[in-house]
Amino acid sequence: MAQQARCSAWRIEAIMLNRISAALASLPPAEQRVGRLVLSDPLIFSRLPVAKLAGLAQVSKPTVVRFCRSLGYDGLKDFKLKLDGRIHEGVLFVHRSVDVDDKINDILVKVIDDTMAAVATYRCNANRPRIESAVKALVETYRSHKRIEIFGLGNSGIVAQDAQHKFFRLGIPATAYGDSHMQLMSASVMRAGDCAVVISNSGRTRDLIATCDMARRNGATTLVITSSGSPLALAGHIHLAADHPEGFERYCPMVSRLLHLMIVDIIATGVALRIGIEELRPDLRQMQSCLLDKRVF
């Protein structure tokens, strides 16, 4: 029951509420009651005076203020303003919960809390059957000696390179393309049994959608890691959702990129275990031996 309550709270899209959920366990019991009151009805919390809030949470009025400061806000007024969405959302290209006048400690706490909340949300909401389908498709491609091609642009291109590196370290042949022309050329020669992994934060990049469509038309299995409801999510055979409320035009997708990297880790680990460590071990040992010669002891 407690896990379901946490899941319900984490499904709320606002980063601010995600941060509260993530920080709740580390707060004193009295402040936890205030936090649970916020999560139960954020709109009501933003409208009521401190005396009424203290009564509902069964705490003192100073405890309500301490709760707000524990989360990095100046006080109850500052907390309510941001909860109600009546102020500027933040600094361009950085986390939406960070403010212009934040000190380093505030930035540290907010960025880490934001990331932790996003990871906890994914753990709660991840679609296990789809992850299993993705792992199965990649294993079948590997065993059939077919091609695994990974596509991404910009920040997602970096994730694509990381995915290629992870498979390479496991001894699984894969190629990553970060150029839209090379992506389309690669997709045009993919065939049945091949697997195309397409990674995008927004899921709305025309070139990636075109690449995914081309690979699918040629018979390849298309695995997309992107936001739910996007055109790319609908274009692939297997969609692994990576949802985080970052503005695609105004904010650098920092947490979304970390979610993508984590999803790649999950898939790569699943593929390695399904193939069998014993089957991969000789290549892993040979690679490790080569790397040891590069180290200084």
Q: d(Cα 262, Cα 275) in Å, to the nearest integer? A: 20
Distances (CA, A) of 140 to 33, 250, 291: 50, 40, 29
Reported confidence tier of residue 31, pLDDT bands at 50, 70, 90: very high
Q: d(Cα 267, Cα 240) in Å, to the nearest integer? A: 10
Checking DSSP bridges between strand 148-151 and strand 195-199, what pairing results, if any? parallel
Q: Looking at the domain that runs over 128-291, which CATH code has it been given?
A: 3.40.50.10490
Q: d(Cα 64, Cα 55) in Å, to the nearest integer? A: 10
Q: Given this model, what pLDDT does residue 278 score?
A: 77
Q: What number is the average pLDDT over the span 39-54? A: 88
Pick the CATH number of 2-125 from 1.10.3370.10, 2.30.110.10, 1.10.1740.10, 1.10.10.10: 1.10.10.10
Domain extents for the chain? 2-125, 128-291
Q: d(Cα 190, Cα 167) in Å, to the nearest integer? A: 19
Please report, as a single letter, which amino acid is at residue 49. P
Q: d(Cα 166, Cα 264) in Å, to the nearest integer? A: 8
Backbone angles phi, psi at 60, to 5 degrees: -85, 160
Percent of the chain with pLDDT over 90: 51
Q: What number is the average pLDDT over the span 21-26? A: 79
163-205 confidence digits (pLDDT tens): 999 998 888 899 999 999 999 999 999 999 999 999 999 899 9
Q: What number is the average pLDDT over the span 218-233? A: 94
**Do 2-125 and 128-291 share a fold?**
no
